[in-house]
Amino acid sequence: MRIAHLELRWVKLPLVTPFRTSFGTAHDRDTFLLRLVTDEGFEGWAECAAEPEPLYSEEFLAGAEMVLRDHLVPRLLALGDALSATRVPTALAPVKGHPMAKHVLETAVLDAELRAADMSFGRYLGAVVDRVPAGVSVGIMDTIDELVSHVSDYLAQGYRRIKLKIEPGWDLEPVRVVREKFGDDLLLQVDANTAYTLADAQHLARLDPFDLLLIEQPLAEDDLRGHAALAEVLRTPVCLDESITSARDAATAIALGACSVINVKPARVGGYLEARRIHDVAVANGVPVWCGGMLETGIGRAPNVALAALPGFVMPGDTSASDRYFTTDLTPPFVLDDGHLAVPTGPGLGVEVLTDVVEEMTTATHTIPLT
């Protein structure tokens, strides 16, 4: 297989509710899609998970476009007819970092390859179930009342697990109120996106009585030792997101006692092949994993839902229904059925890309030169 055409589609979709985290507020899903066409006429689509600003991680959209065009795509083109998804990581390995840029390219190649082979992502990755329980990530709100009303809505829709974004000043109280209001059976967890330091250990220990499933990424992403020390103090299990960018990181973090749960986000780790390796490392160590998200459209969510169907994904993920994010999605909407999302079964991503909606949401199209 060989790349015959490659283009970046910049898209902007308004979010139904602004999404506030400890690092910023998003009003739109602002990103680019990669559309690849092979010499045999198969299409591959993928969505870049990076954000406009380097606040979640050091990657950002404009940088991802540049590294793709100038450093990653030329290395794939050098493979010529030998291009296949499993060769992508090695071909791109000389370029340090940039997992989200690598992820979007590898995913587009894998989508085209799977469409040509008439195989779904789920089948390829090793899905063992045909539906996955859906959780929802709830942003920081202006008031506790507003938070309670959102959580109440999500639970009425059937979400199986609630994740509250926290930061200093928005932690104990929202957790206490949500736990008291919705009861002990609610699966509840929190995500700090690196907003604390080890000096906050005693403060974070005050979350222990609320029986959270986990606390996600309380400390800086490069602070594995701090997370290990914190895990000694907390009864709440520590889960890592930002810190884990490879299967090696996962093995290291587990060995150090820095986490007892892992949020697997394919984009953060460079793609689905590495994401599956993290799953395998975690399963081998008895560590539960769940699938994270980056407010993806259906194009990015479809393969995440497929990944979440692997056997080690034993906790509900941040794979929510389309209407949690957008009024109109770029694929037929993902909908909750009894609190679950169906694993797509069609070839590749397994869902149709609604090209007229993509067209409508496109703000710019950049063709990547192939010479």
Can residue 195 be called a binding residue for ligand OSB (CB under 6 A)? no
Footprint (CB under 5 A) of Mg ion, residues 207-226: 216
- Between 59 and 191, whose beta carbon lies closer to Mg ion? 191
Least CB distance to ligand OSB at residue 305 (A):
12
Rounded Cα gap, residues 180 and 269, in angstroms: 36
- Catalytic: 102? no
Can residue 318 be called a binding residue for ligand OSB (CB under 6 A)? yes
Both tokens of 355, joined, read 């090209």
Least CB distance to ligand OSB at residue 44 (A):
22
- Cα 146 to its chain centre, rounded Å, is 25
Cβ atoms of 158 and 142 closer than 8 Å = no
- Between 38 and 245, whose beta carbon lies closer to Mg ion? 245
Q: Which of 102, 163, 165, 181 is catalytic?
A: 165
236-270: b or e for each residue (b if 16 or more CB lie within 10 Å)? bbbbbbbbbbbbebbbebbeeebbbbbbbbbbbbb
- Between 293 and 312, whose beta carbon lies closer to ligand OSB? 293
Residue whose C-alpha is closest to residue 318's, from 132, 49, 92, 146: 132
Among ligand OSB, Mg ion, none, the one that 300 touches (CB under a kind-dependent 5 to 8 A) is none
* SS3 assignment, position 220: coil
Least CB distance to ligand OSB at residue 70 (A):
26
Can residue 137 be called a binding residue for ligand OSB (CB under 6 A)? yes
Candidate residues 68, 281, 282, 294; the one interacting with ligand OSB per rule CB under 6 A: 294
Cβ atoms of 159 and 134 closer than 8 Å = yes
Q: Which of 12, 102, 181, 265 is catalytic?
A: 265
Residue whose C-alpha is closest to residue 80's, from 38, 120, 121, 51: 38
Angstrom distances, CA of residue 270 to CA of 256, 278, 340: 23, 11, 26
Among ligand OSB, Mg ion, none, the one that 294 touches (CB under a kind-dependent 5 to 8 A) is ligand OSB
Give the total of residues touching ligand OSB (CB under 6 A).
11
Candidate residues 38, 193, 243, 260; the one interacting with ligand OSB per rule CB under 6 A: 193
Footprint (CB under 6 A) of ligand OSB, residues 55-114: 56
Can residue 51 be called a binding residue for Mg ion (CB under 5 A)? no
Rounded Cα gap, residues 92 and 70, in angstroms: 12
Strand pairing category for 238-240 and 215-216: parallel
Candidate residues 260, 297, 320, 331; the one interacting with ligand OSB per rule CB under 6 A: 320
Can residue 226 be called a binding residue for ligand OSB (CB under 6 A)? no
- Which helix or strand (DSSP H or E) is residue 342 part of? strand 340-342
Phi, psi of 197 (to 5 degrees): -125, 170
- Catalytic: 163? no
- Between 55 and 229, whose beta carbon lies closer to ligand OSB? 55
Q: What is the DSSP string of 292-328?
A: ---S--HHHHHHHHHHTTSTTB-S-BS---GGGT-SS
Of 15-23, 47-55, 83-91, 238-246, the segment contacting Mg ion by CB under 5 A is: 238-246
Active site residues: 165, 265
Interacting residues toward ligand OSB by CB under 6 A? 56, 137, 191, 193, 241, 292-295, 318, 320
Interacting residues toward Mg ion by CB under 5 A? 191, 216, 241
